[in-house]
Structure 1
């Protein structure tokens, strides 16, 4: 039987088939379904000024993933891949595994932008790092409604901190991808290209997405969940979004702004136009925790008046229980 020649079209089709197979099988796979989690409320720690900006603009800053606070995060993921490859070194596919090690440096810094949340709304470490040292607030959003409220497609990821689970997932993905390509290897004429090298690059590209959901175990108190916007030339391309820049003490940080359907509408409606009943979703804020270093009673009054002014009702406002004073 004559082998089918690989073209750009067939290669795209192969990649799509691989993605579909992984997407369908992941929830059923005992090792991979550890990646799937759930929660009722996601919390975002911010200053009072940050809160006002979020509610008034109905939007969030989305920071380039390579410029997050954990500066070693990307390198940690890369090192985890290499550990997984080492664990599989007795595998019969040793040539592909060796190619992965050789090509790991070919990973491109990701063009992903993320907004970070926590599944814990009253955490000492979070108050210190992101809640204006206890003088900020923690905003609770309805998990199931949050991603749907935006006018762009965002992916959500639970961050994994357990190293054993991280390695198991990477090893299983490597095994499944190699298995997929081995099944079709003899079907195609690879036009003189190194098959093992091609497969290794596919694995690295795929795992590049996975490792951005991994952090070192020392960050486990964060209980992080991310909303991610990918600007990769597929769904969204460069130029579809304004890339802005801000500075820290030692970095220039690229970011963009993600808006929800409500804020997108406000930008286009006429001054005297009445607000439509259907099709709009404000950010689904349902809870606020006032930081341990703020005066609860007076801050609560201000929050209530502000929320009423912005059309929010039935938002629970409570005091932090963290014994932290500064």
Structure 2
């Protein structure tokens, strides 16, 4: 069995030295915690700013944001805290030195994992049409926009990219706790097989980065319950070898962040079904301008609609 067989559809890659028993253990773990065949909605929405809208229609590309630059970057730390708290709770109940050493190793690994050092990039989609929370999140003090995509067509194009995963976000806090516990079980069970601290230290050095990339996927799929109304799906991907030229950089209020340019266009066009103008004072002007832009770029019969939410609510 090749390593890729165990991780089909997931943005993960084993070190070449990994043994077959490790592959089988990972298979069992992934089948427990990650939905490898999430629903593929016939249509979904991508909420974005005016700048984002013009870029997507104008270039036929979509940006995946580095996880540290998401609108709510603290969401990346939400699952990390669940793991850390669960590991600490277990550690306090242990009195066997070797078992304690294992959990201390796990905690040390978790402490080193930060969003800024991750190689993970995410593009967010939603099945929620005309959603007030997302208008607020993406618009700020400006007008936001939502692009409706043909879900089946775009996902067909996305499937051709290596190291890319289509994920349905999990908002259920009970499921979050279960995934955190199962993640620790998997990690700890691997370490217990090594039988000595010296072998544990060597394993973490050799295979720790891979297991950290596994947690990147879990970070991307787990989100605080307060965001449940967003009904979010995520495209999760990694920067591939030779793709440095696709990296773009953007100035945010508190950082310079990275974005990965992804091209899923055919003849320069994406499978766009419609565009919606978010609540704003000058919706009609935007509607006309976007219609003209779509025609200029070769889109035919793509309607531009206006949000039904009153501007004063945003």
**What TM-score bracket applies, with the shorter chain setting the length?**
0.7 to 0.9
Q: 1:224 corresponds to which residue? A: 232
Change over 3 Å in CA distance of 1:175–1:298 after alignment to 2:
same
Q: How many residues align?
A: 289
From 120, 130, 133, the counterpart of 1:122: 130
Aligned to 1:275: none
Task: Give the equivalent residue in structure 1 for 2:70.
Answer: 68
Moved more, 45-54 or 11-20: 11-20
Unaligned runs of 5+ in 1: 1-9, 267-281
The answer as to whether partners of 1:118 and 1:224 remain within 8 angstroms in 2 is yes
Give the superposition deviation at 1:302. 4.3
Matches within 5 A, 1:1-326: 12-14=16-18, 18-19=22-23, 21-23=25-27, 26-27=30-31, 29=32, 32-33=34-35, 36-86=38-88, 88-89=90-91, 94-107=100-113, 109-131=117-139, 133=141, 135-149=143-157, 152-153=161-162, 154-179=164-189, 185=194, 193-195=198-200, 198=203, 201=208, 203-231=211-239, 236-237=240-241, 240-262=244-266, 282-293=269-280, 299-325=286-312
Cα displacement (A) at 1:181? 6.3
TM-fit CA distance, 1:59: 0.6
Quickly say closer, same or farther: Cα 1:152–1:208, change in 2 above 3 A: closer
TM-score scaled to structure 2, two decimals? 0.74
CA gap of 1:20–1:82, structure 2 versus 1, over 3 A, is same
The question of whether the paired residues in 2 share the 8 Å contact of 1:62 and 1:258 is answered with yes
Task: Give the distance between the partners of 2:265 and 2:270, measured in 1 at CA.
Answer: 9
Instruction: Measure, in 1, the Cα distance between the counterparts of 2:265 and 2:278.
Output: 29
Q: Does the CA contact (< 8 Å) of 1:124 and 1:324 recur in 2?
A: no
Instruction: Give per-residue Cα distances to partners, 1:152-177, cap 9 Å, x unaligned.
Output: 43322223333321121121133245
- Cα 1:256/1:206, change in 2 over 3 Å: closer
Asked if the contact 2:35/2:167 (under 8 Å) is kept, the reply is no
Deviation at 1:144, TM superposition (A): 2.7
Query: When the two structures are superposed, what TM-score results if normalisation uses the length of structure 1?
Result: 0.71
Cα 1:242–1:316 shift into 2, 3 Å? closer
How far 1:138 sits from its partner (Å)?
Answer: 1.0
Q: What is the Cα deviation at residue 139 of structure 1?
A: 0.6
Contact 2:38 2:166 in 1 (8 A): no
**Largest Rg, 1 or 2:** 1
Are the counterparts in 2 of residues 156 and 227 from structure 1 also a CA contact under 8 Å? yes
